[in-house]
Amino acid sequence: MVCGIVKKDEEGIIACQREKSPYAGFWEFPGGKVEHGETKRQSLSRELKEELNITVSIDKYVMVRKYRYDGLTIHLYAYICTYLRGDIRITEHQSFKVMRMDELLNLNFLEGNKKIIKRLIYLEKREKL
């Protein structure tokens, strides 16, 4: 699995609220499954185009988080991305928000994403993302 921490100008980071079960109502960073024959970066570009109708530059690998949901082990690879173009139109989520990094922890994020947020906040204090 891949996810994008998408920076949208000075507005902040894009967060999406899940529509489908499991975990409907929880927040996450947009992304999805890596298809056979794709690199992680190719997959992330495709997923962001499909889910949000946006084009991004994938700037920096951040980390991988391993966690378990309902007996399934997931490896989530997180990348910092910069929004380039496209009017955001959600297709897989019930809503989205663009928020400052420090506001993200106020949302009910999935557990694996919470660890990524904490890492991002730590990195933001050390360097400009």
pLDDT tens per residue across span 35-46:
999 999 999 999
Using pLDDT thresholds of 50, 70 and 90, give the confidence band for residue 20.
Answer: confident
- Specify the pTM: 0.92
Burial of 33 (0-12, 13-18, 19+ CB in 10 A): exposed
- Statement: residue 107 has pLDDT above 70: yes
Rounded to 5 degrees, φ, ψ at 45 are: -60, -45
What would the two tokens of residue 60 be? Answer: 């920096």
What would the two tokens of residue 81 be? Answer: 């991305």
Burial of 8 (0-12, 13-18, 19+ CB in 10 A): middle
Looking at residue 9, what is its pLDDT? Answer: 82
What contacts 118, CB < 8 A, 6 or more positions away? 105
Question: What percentage of the chain exceeds 70 in pLDDT?
Answer: 98
Q: Which domains does the chain have, with CATH numbers?
A: 2-126 (3.90.79.10)
User: How far apart are the C-alpha atoms of 18 and 95, rounded to whole Å?
Assistant: 8
More confident residue, 54 or 21: 54
If you average pLDDT over every residue of the chain, what do you get? 92
Ramachandran region of residue 47, left (φ > 0), alpha (ψ -120 to 50) or beta?
alpha
Looking at residue 28, what is its pLDDT? Answer: 95
Q: Report the SS3 class of residue 88.
A: coil
Looking at residue 93, what is its pLDDT? Answer: 95
More confident residue, 120 or 42: 42
